[in-house]
Amino acid sequence: MATGVLDLAVHDFSAQLAAKQPTPGGGSAAALVGALGAALVSMVCRYTVGRERYADVEEAAQRVLVRAEELRVELEQAVEADVAAYGSYSRAQSMPRETDAEQGARNAALQTALRESTSVPLGVAERCTELLELAVEAAEIGNPFLISDAAVGAELAAAARASAELNVRLNVGGLEDEAFADESRARLQAMDARVGGRELVERAARAVAERAGA
């Protein structure tokens, strides 16, 4: 039975990242970091819901939990999707290019793979933008004994978003489809405006400081 990188032990995944091989690489690492951030947000919510002491935030905590779990699954899927996208690009690079026809076929395959290699991290960045907002909310309303975990989740989400954005900005430079490239850049700008630089991460940290010992 075939297995993917998500089936690897943590040690083995780390070793594969360090190996002299193209995948898994930075895109997969970014998606995995985002998934870990989502897992922390979920944990905080699970220690909050169903407890009488936090009944006033029950509905909000349930909502955050459901969405954080959805994002965790989607980000885990993106780990594998990034491996597949780069694999397609690597295979396209190896295609023959002796004739005009071969060059045309190779370029078309490269552009298709490059578009996918842009779409995957773009999706990761957007999911991590939303996750960052959820992490802040978890820090502000969650069980105060675990809110530092929510703040860590916010830091991970921010790091994953920024890392995925790096890949997007690199890949759009090679796209011949200017409309798609412009759309991708516009989506990045929307995300940048949404997170406000480090504003949301710092808000999560403030929540921890203010609620410590609550």
For position 196, what pLDDT does the model report? 87
Under a CB-based contact definition with an 8 Å cutoff, are residues 214 and 191 in contact?
Answer: no
Question: What does pTM read for this prediction?
Answer: 0.93
Q: DSSP string covering 136-171, please?
A: HHHHHHS-TTSHHHHHHHHHHHHHHHHHHHHHHHHH
Q: HSE of 163 in the Cβ direction (CA atoms, 13 Å)? A: 18
For position 213, what pLDDT does the model report? 60
Residues in the chain predicted with pLDDT less than 50, given as ranges, are 1
Under a CB-based contact definition with an 8 Å cutoff, are residues 151 and 134 in contact?
Answer: no
For position 1, what pLDDT does the model report? 41
For position 164, what pLDDT does the model report? 97
CA 23 to chain centre: 17
For position 135, what pLDDT does the model report? 97
Q: Mean pLDDT score of the chain, rounded to an integer?
A: 94
Smallest CA-to-CA distance from 172 within 126, 119, 123, 127 is with 119
